């Protein structure tokens, strides 16, 4: 029992993992949450002037912040796991902002890169919030209902989309397990860690995909 509790506590800290709760957001229909948070993510990339972009991003951040409080989730936890992604994006844009003749920085390009990182961050937080208050089963059930409503059962879109969406939090779960194993063997967070664990992550994901396909095939649910 103690081991299960420790595992549940550890899983709750993994990015994009489900956090049990009885808040209004947890009880809200999964389909509505999926559509609303998807629209929020798309709105983060709405083209426009710099002033308009700042207003839109500020509004989206405020909405996500408010929803996370309603769900009983600390807002900063929604960005957990996004640091490597944002670091790589910022490093690429920073390199592009460097001018070599004459040497200097293109501050307009640097500002755009910061805005792009904020957009990625808000989209990441929106996705994290969705999976924090919605289980994969709820998403699948909601998509199946939409499929039946529009009479698209033969396309099996609900199965495809739900599998695709559920693979995202699975990546963080496997990464957390690999990191725990790495640390237990005395490994440190450095370049060697990334070089060693990333290929293992890809391998584990491929194995997991194969296992899921086999399980679906045995149940007669494999997509044609």
Each residue of 30-70: pLDDT tens digit?
Answer: 889 989 988 999 999 988 788 888 899 999 999 999 999 99
3-state class of 104 per DSSP? Answer: strand
The residue-averaged pLDDT of 4-17 equals: 60
pLDDT category of residue 205 using cuts at 50, 70 and 90: confident
Residue 81 in contact with residue 16, Cβ under 8 Å?
yes
pLDDT tens column, 130-188: 999 998 888 888 877 777 777 766 666 666 676 777 777 788 788 888 888 888 888 88
Q: What is the pTM of this model?
A: 0.74
Are 56 and 43 a contacting pair, CB within 8 Å? Answer: yes
CA distance 152 to 145: 10
* Residue ranges per structural domain of the chain: 18-134, 156-224
Tell me the pLDDT tens digit for each residue of 93-139. 777 777 776 776 777 777 778 888 889 999 999 989 999 999 888 88
CA distances (Å), origin 29, targets 59, 127, 139, 208: 23, 16, 9, 28
Instruction: Kindly report the backbone phi and psi dihedral angles of residue 103, in degrees, each rounded to the nearest multiple of 5, phi listed first.
Output: -70, 135
């Amino acid at each position: 029992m103690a081991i299960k509790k420790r595992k549940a506590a550890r899983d709750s800290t993994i990015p994009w993992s489900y956090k049990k709760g009885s808040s209004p957001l947890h009880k809200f229909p999964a389909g509505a949450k999926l559509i609303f948070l998807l629209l929020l993510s798309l709105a983060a990339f709405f083209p426009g002037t710099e002033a308009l972009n700042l207003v839109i991003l500020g509004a989206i951040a405020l909405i996500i912040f408010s929803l996370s409080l309603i769900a009983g989730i600390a807002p900063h936890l929604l960005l957990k796991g996004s640091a490597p992604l944002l670091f790589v994006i910022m490093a690429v844009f920073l390199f592009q902002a460097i001018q070599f003749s004459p040497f200097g920085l293109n501050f307009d390009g640097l500002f755009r890169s910061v805005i792009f990182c904020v957009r990625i961050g808000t989209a990441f937080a929106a996705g994290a919030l969705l999976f924090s208050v919605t289980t994969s089963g709820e998403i699948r059930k909601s998509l199946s209902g939409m499929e039946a409503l529009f009479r698209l059962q033969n396309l099996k879109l609900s199965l495809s989309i739900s599998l695709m969406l559920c693979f995202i939090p699975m990546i963080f779960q496997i990464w957390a397990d690999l990191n725990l194993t790495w640390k237990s063997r005395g490994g440190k967070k450095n370049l060697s860690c990334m070089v060693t664990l990333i290929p293992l992550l890809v391998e584990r994901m491929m194995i997991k995909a194969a296992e899921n396909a086999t399980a679906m095939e045995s149940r007669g649910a494999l997509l044609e």
